[in-house]
């Protein structure tokens, strides 16, 4: 399964160019890519990448931190009907790894939010959301607990 995700991520990177996720200017951005699924027939994937600045004060046990949170959602729809459709998790994860390819996989901490719309916190069929957090120097960091509104599950590196 790991090799499938690595192979899919490499194919996606060869086909699609994604913007740098953490810009030095700190500008927020949104990018959307619509593509046919590579591992599931008759499925269209809409990959939306949203980068936003954050600045949180010190919590009871947690230090103050600022940086950028990058949210990647992968929505899957039936190519013919447009209805939301479930796909196995290895393809959305491969897209996310392709999006985060500018970072060393061993240092990166990608968090799975699952089938939760990150804006509303509500479950949504055919959608899988992921997040990555970066400090002011564009270094991957653990999620700041002060920002967590929905459960985050760390997914490990491919190697």
Whether the Cβ atoms of residue 38 and residue 91 lie closer than 8 Å to each other: yes
| Residue 158 confidence class, pLDDT cut points 50, 70, 90 | low
Alpha-carbon gap, residue 81 to 64, rounded angstroms = 47
Question: Residue 62 has what pLDDT?
Answer: 82
| Mean pLDDT of the region 94-118 | 85
User: b/e map of 97-106 (b: 16 or more CB within 10 Å)?
Assistant: bbbbbebeee
Question: Residue 1 has what pLDDT?
Answer: 47
Alpha-carbon gap, residue 56 to 58, rounded angstroms = 7
Task: Kindly state the percentage of the chain with pLDDT values over 70.
Answer: 92
In terms of Cβ atoms closer than 10 Å to its own Cβ (0-12, 13-18, 19+), residue 2 is exposed
Condensed to tens digits (0 to 9), the pLDDT of residues 1-20 reads: 445 777 888 888 888 877 77
Which residue, among 134, 140, 149, 144, has the nearest Cα to 26 in the 3D structure? 134
Condensed to tens digits (0 to 9), the pLDDT of residues 41-93 reads: 899 999 999 999 999 888 788 888 899 999 999 999 999 999 999 888 888 98
- State which of 25-29, 103-107, 115-119 shows the largest mean pLDDT: 115-119
Question: Residue 71 has what pLDDT?
Answer: 92
Task: Kindly state the percentage of the chain with pLDDT values over 90.
Answer: 25
Q: How crowded is residue 1: how many other Cβ atoms within 10 Å of its Cβ? A: 9
Residue holding tokens 């990959």?
Answer: 47
């Amino acid at each position: 399964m790991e090799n499938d995700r690595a192979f899919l991520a490499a194919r996606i990177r060869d086909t699609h160019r994604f913007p740098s996720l953490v810009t030095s200017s700190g500008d927020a951005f949104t990018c959307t890519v619509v593509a046919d699924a590579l591992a599931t027939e008759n499925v269209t994937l809409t990959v939306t990448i949203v980068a936003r600045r954050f600045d949180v004060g010190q919590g009871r046990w947690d230090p103050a931190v600022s940086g950028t949170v990058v949210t990647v959602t992968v929505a899957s729809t039936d190519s013919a009907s447009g209805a939301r459709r479930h796909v196995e998790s290895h393809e959305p994860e491969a897209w996310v790894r392709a999006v985060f390819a500018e970072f060393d996989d061993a240092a990166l901490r990608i968090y799975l939010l699952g089938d939760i719309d990150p804006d509303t916190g509500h479950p949504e069929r055919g959608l899988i959301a992921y997040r990555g957090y970066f400090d002011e120097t564009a270094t991957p960091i653990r999620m700041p607990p002060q920002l967590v509104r929905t459960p985050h599950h760390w997914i490990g590196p491919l190697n």
